Structure 1
Amino acid sequence: MGNTEVQPIDMYYYLPHLLGKPQGLNPAFKLSRGRTGVSIVMGIPTIARPTGGYLLQTISSLIMNLDEREKEDCLIIIFIAEMNNTAYVKSTAASIKSTFPLALASGLLEVIAPSPFYYPNLDNIKQTHGDSKERTKWRTKQNLDYAFLMLYCRGRGRYYVQLEDDVVTKPGYLTTMQKFVQNQKTSDWLLLEFSQLGFIGKLFKTYNLPWVVEFFLMFFKDKPIDWLLDNIFYVKYCSPEHDMKHCARMTAEYRRRYKPSLFQHIGVQSSLKGKVQKLKDKDFRSRVGKTVNYINPNAEVSTTLGVYKRFSFDKVYMGENFFWATQPQRGDVIYIKFLPPVAIDKYVFRSGAPEHPGDKFYNTTVEILPEDHVNKKEGVLDNMSHSHQYRMTDDLYLVVGEFIGTSGVAEGMVNRTVGKVAVLRLVVQYPSASWVILNEVR
Structure 2
Amino acid sequence: MRLVLKYLDKMRCFRKRSTIPFLVALITFLLFINLYIEDGYVLEEDKRQLRETSMHPLNSERYVHTFKDITNFSGTINVTYRYLAGTPLPRKKYLTIGLSSVKRKRGNYLLETIKSIFDQSSYEELKEIIVVVHLADFDLAWCESLVQEISRKFGHHIIAGRLLVIHAPEEYYPSLDGLKRNYNDPEDRVRFRSKQNVDYAFLLNFCTNLSDFYMMLEDDVRCSRNFLTALKKVVASREGSYWVMLEFSKLGYIGKLYHSRDLPRLAHFLLMFYQEMPCDWLLIHFRGLLAQKDAIRFKPSLFQHMGYYSSYKGAENKLKDDDFEEDSLDIPDNPPASLYTNINVFESYDAAKAYSSVDEYFWGKAPSTGDFYVIVFNKATKISKIKIITGTDDRQNDILHHGALEVGEKLIGTKKGRQCSSYITLGEFKNGNIEVHDVDHKIAFDIECVRIVVTANQKEWLIIRSISLWTTQGASQ
* Partner SS, residue 110 of structure 1: strand
Report how far residue 12 of structure 1 moved.
3.7
Inter-partner Cα distance in structure 2 for 1:94 and 1:177: 31
Post-superposition CA distance 1:305-355 (Å, at most 9, x none): xxxxxxxxxxxxxxxxxxxxxxxxxxxxxxxxxxxxxxxxxxxxxxxxxxx
Q: Tell me the TM-score normalized by structure 2.
A: 0.53
Report how far residue 40 of structure 1 moved.
0.2
1:51 corresponds to which letter in structure 2?
A: R
Post-superposition CA distance 1:65-113 (Å, at most 9, x none): 1111111111000110012x11101100000000111111101111011
Post-superposition CA distance 1:269-293 (Å, at most 9, x none): 1111042211111100246xxxxxx
Report how far residue 187 of structure 1 moved.
3.7
Inter-partner Cα distance in structure 2 for 1:47 and 1:8: 29
Tell me if structure 2 keeps the 8 A contact 1:14–1:217.
no
Task: Identify the match of residue 251 of structure 1 among 293, 315, 337.
Answer: 293
* Partner SS, residue 134 of structure 2: strand
- Which residue number in structure 2 is paired with residue 53 of structure 1? 108
Inter-partner Cα distance in structure 2 for 1:225 and 1:14: 21
1:15 corresponds to which letter in structure 2?
A: L
Tell me if structure 1 keeps the 8 A contact 2:224–2:325.
no
- Which residue number in structure 2 is paired with residue 40 of structure 1? 95
* Partner SS, residue 261 of structure 1: coil
Task: Identify the match of residue 316 of structure 2 among 272, 276, 281.
Answer: 276
- Which residue number in structure 2 is paired with residue 15 of structure 1? 50
Residue 152 of structure 2 corresponds to residue 98 of structure 1: yes
Inter-partner Cα distance in structure 2 for 1:186 and 1:63: 30
Task: Identify the match of residue 145 of structure 1 among 191, 199, 216.
Answer: 199
Q: Percent same amino acid among aligned pairs?
A: 34
Distance 1:281 1:15, change over 3 A: same
2:323 corresponds to which letter in structure 1?
A: D
- Which residue number in structure 1 is paired with residue 209 of structure 2? 155
- RMSD over aligned Cα, in angstroms? 2.3
Inter-partner Cα distance in structure 1 for 2:168 and 2:115: 23
Report how far residue 23 of structure 1 moved.
11
Report how far residue 52 of structure 1 moved.
2.7
Task: Identify the match of residue 64 of structure 1 among 113, 119, 125.
Answer: 119
Report how far residue 30 of structure 1 moved.
2.9
Tell me if structure 2 keeps the 8 A contact 1:8–1:210.
no
* Partner SS, residue 277 of structure 1: coil
1:56 corresponds to which letter in structure 2?
A: L
Tell me if structure 1 keeps the 8 A contact 2:250–2:301.
yes
- Which residue number in structure 2 is paired with residue 79 of structure 1? 134
Unaligned runs of 5+ in 2: 1-39, 54-75, 328-477
**Aligned length in residues:** 264
Distance 1:13 1:204, change over 3 A: farther
Tell me if structure 2 keeps the 8 A contact 1:29–1:114.
no
Inter-partner Cα distance in structure 2 for 1:232 and 1:13: 23
- Which residue number in structure 2 is paired with residue 201 of structure 1? 255
Post-superposition CA distance 1:177-214 (Å, at most 9, x none): 11211111424111111111111000000101122222
Tell me if structure 2 keeps the 8 A contact 1:104–1:110.
yes
Distance 1:150 1:232, change over 3 A: same
- Which residue number in structure 2 is paired with residue 115 of structure 1? 169
Tell me if structure 2 keeps the 8 A contact 1:82–1:114.
no
Post-superposition CA distance 1:375-433 (Å, at most 9, x none): xxxxxxxxxxxxxxxxxxxxxxxxxxxxxxxxxxxxxxxxxxxxxxxxxxxxxxxxxxx
Tell me if structure 1 keeps the 8 A contact 2:84–2:147.
no
1:273 corresponds to which letter in structure 2?
A: K
Report how far residue 13 of structure 1 moved.
6.1
Distance 1:7 1:158, change over 3 A: farther
* Partner SS, residue 98 of structure 2: strand
Structure 2 counterparts to residues 198-237 of structure 1, below 5 A: 198-237=252-291
- Which residue number in structure 1 is paired with residue 245 of structure 2? 191
Tell me if structure 2 keeps the 8 A contact 1:9–1:210.
no
Inter-partner Cα distance in structure 1 for 2:260 and 2:101: 21
Distance 1:56 1:131, change over 3 A: same
Q: Tell me the TM-score normalized by structure 1.
A: 0.57
Structure 2 counterparts to residues 40-439 of structure 1, below 5 A: 40-83=95-138, 85-237=139-291, 251-252=293-294, 255-286=295-326
Unaligned runs of 5+ in 1: 1-5, 238-249, 288-442
Inter-partner Cα distance in structure 1 for 2:221 and 2:293: 26
Tell me if structure 1 keeps the 8 A contact 2:77–2:205.
no
After superposing the two structures, state which structure 1 stretch, 224-233 or 85-94, moved more: 224-233
Distance 1:157 1:233, change over 3 A: closer
Report how far residue 17 of structure 1 moved.
7.2
Report how far residue 46 of structure 1 moved.
0.3
Inter-partner Cα distance in structure 1 for 2:300 and 2:83: 37
1:284 corresponds to which letter in structure 2?
A: F
1:92 corresponds to which letter in structure 2?
A: L
Tell me if structure 2 keeps the 8 A contact 1:23–1:115.
no
Tell me if structure 2 keeps the 8 A contact 1:24–1:116.
no
* Partner SS, residue 111 of structure 1: strand
* Partner SS, residue 138 of structure 1: helix
Inter-partner Cα distance in structure 2 for 1:7 and 1:150: 18
* Partner SS, residue 285 of structure 1: coil
* Partner SS, residue 139 of structure 1: helix
Report how far residue 54 of structure 1 moved.
0.3
Distance 1:281 1:7, change over 3 A: farther
Post-superposition CA distance 1:150-174 (Å, at most 9, x none): 0100110000000000000011101
Inter-partner Cα distance in structure 1 for 2:230 and 2:153: 26
2:286 corresponds to which letter in structure 1?
A: I
* Partner SS, residue 112 of structure 1: strand
Tell me if structure 2 keeps the 8 A contact 1:24–1:115.
no
Tell me if structure 2 keeps the 8 A contact 1:37–1:156.
yes
